[in-house]
Amino acid sequence: MSSVTLRDGEKLHVTCVGKGRPVVLLHGFGSRGAHWLHNVLPYTRKFRFYLPDLRGFGHSHGANLDGLDVFATYANDLEDVLNHFELDQVVLGGISTGAYSCLTYNQLYGFSRVSKYLNIEHGPDSSHGEGQFNGIFREQQAELFAVFQDLLSLAQHHGPIAYWELPAEHRIQFRDTVARVLGRALHKGFARQVVLLASRLAEPLLTRHFMPVEKWQTYLNVMQAFMNGRDTRTALTNIKVPTTLMIGRQSRFFSVETQLEIAQYVPHAEIVIFEQAGHAVMVDQPIAFQREFGRFLFKA
């Protein structure tokens, strides 16, 4: 484990494991770098994996996001990680929030330091185009964004109050919204119900070990960044490295068509569709994902 000092003085926690060709993987919303470990451990004799906890999550929960362009900040942090470890020609990959961060990194820095790229479950923009449903949450975007906006208004109203000091109804509203977003990532209804039930019955345990809430407002910063959107399309044409798009056919975050739009700008991209998976492809189809992940790593 390493702590990387970023350009603004904040600290980023990075889990490092293995030896060999460098691979940097960025996690999704509500996750942390260590959640990649079961995927990467079989390959640690050939690759060295760098698994950052993005600001606001895991051991980087305390790093500041207030008033910042979230995805530009994540892209800058990625560049700082590459500089800290003196990495070039890295294998880069991300899922969801992590993938959007990688697309933003390409937009701001290009992929000159990247040897190949894995994009899991994200389209070129989180916002809908005019008259379209090609952003995050598909047809339910307006409904969920309205819920996010309510939470943002509540956070502004309460100010810098501790999570457990929030009025119970507002804390439950925040908790259930996060659980709803995480549950949408799963294809099977039973799994979604487990997420919601766990959030209600084991909230103190989960907030202590899984999703820290000392700076609970930081999750809202990320939600607002998705609401603001960032169109990465024009920079996609600059991606010349081998690229793989992994897509869950049943995703309730992005449609297959939306994610395939990336291939219009990166026509050499390989497309892998998991037929029985939602947004969390490695959870819904773990064996199939592991097979395709290994194939991506070893592909020339």
Check which CATH number belongs to the domain holding 16 and give it: 3.40.50.1820
Could you tell me if 7 and 117 lie in one domain? yes
Task: State whether 116 and 238 are in the same domain.
Answer: yes
pLDDT at 188: 85
Quick check: 221 pLDDT over 90? yes
pLDDT band at 174 (very low <50, low <70, confident <90, very high): very high
17 in a domain, yes or no? Answer: yes
- Residues near 50 by Cβ (< 8 Å), separated by ≥ 6? 14, 15, 16, 22, 23, 24, 25, 81, 85, 87, 90
| Per-residue pLDDT tens digits for 109-125 | 999 999 999 999 999 99
Q: What is the pLDDT of residue 32?
A: 97
Distance of CA 300 to the CA centre of its chain: 26
Inform me whether the pLDDT recorded for 195 exceeds 90: no
| Claim to verify: residue 163 and residue 284 sit in the same structural domain | no
In a domain, 132, yes or no: no
Query: Which of 195, 227, 259 is the C-terminal boundary of a domain?
Result: 227
256 domain-assigned: yes
The parent domain of residue 205 ranges over 138-227
Do 176 and 266 fall into the same domain?
no
Domain annotation covers residue 11: yes
**Over residues 166-189, mean pLDDT:** 94
- Total structural domains in the chain? 2
CB of 163 within 8 A of CB of 220? no
**In this structure, are 161 and 238 located in the same domain?**
no
Q: Report residue 300's pLDDT band, with 50, 70 and 90 as the boundaries.
A: confident
Q: Both 223 and 293 in a single domain?
A: no
The yes-or-no verdict on residue 86 having pLDDT over 90 is yes
Final residue of a structural domain among 205, 227, 249: 227
Residue 30 lies inside a defined structural domain of this protein? yes
The mean per-residue pLDDT over the stretch 147-163 comes to 95
Looking at the whole model, is its pTM more than 0.95?
yes
Residues of the chain with pLDDT > 90: what percent? Answer: 93
Q: Do residues 13 and 93 both lie within one domain?
A: yes
Looking at the structure, tell me whether residues 203 and 242 fall in a common domain: no
Whether 89 and 237 map to the same domain: the answer is yes
Read off the pLDDT of each residue in 60-73 and give the average, rounded to a whole number: 97
The 10s digit of each residue's pLDDT in 6-49 is 999 999 999 999 999 999 999 999 999 999 999 999 999 999 99
Question: Where is the domain boundary, 227, 249, 281?
Answer: 227
**Is residue 75 in some structural domain?**
yes
Whether 6 and 100 map to the same domain: the answer is yes
Together in a domain, 24 and 105: yes
pLDDT of residue 189: 83
Give residue 248's pLDDT band: very low, low, confident or very high (50, 70, 90).
very high
Q: Do residues 113 and 32 share a domain?
A: yes
* 20 close to 45: Cβ distance less than 8 angstroms: yes
Would you list the DSSP string of the chain?
Answer: -EEEEPTTS-EEEEEEEESSEEEEEE--TT--GGGGHHHHGGGTTTEEEEEE--TTSGGGTTS--TTS-HHHHHHHHHHHHHHHTT--SEEEEEETHHHHHHHHHHHHH-STTEEEEEEES--S-SSPPTT---STTGGGHHHHHHHHHHHHHHHHHH-S--GGGS-HHHHHHHHHHHHHHHHHT-SSHHHHHHHHHHHHHSHHHHHHHTS--TTTHHHHHHHHHHHH----HHHHTT--S-EEEEEETT-SSS-HHHHHHHHHHSTT-EEEEETT--S-HHHHSHHHHHHHHHHHHH--
What is the average pLDDT value for the chain, to the nearest integer? 96
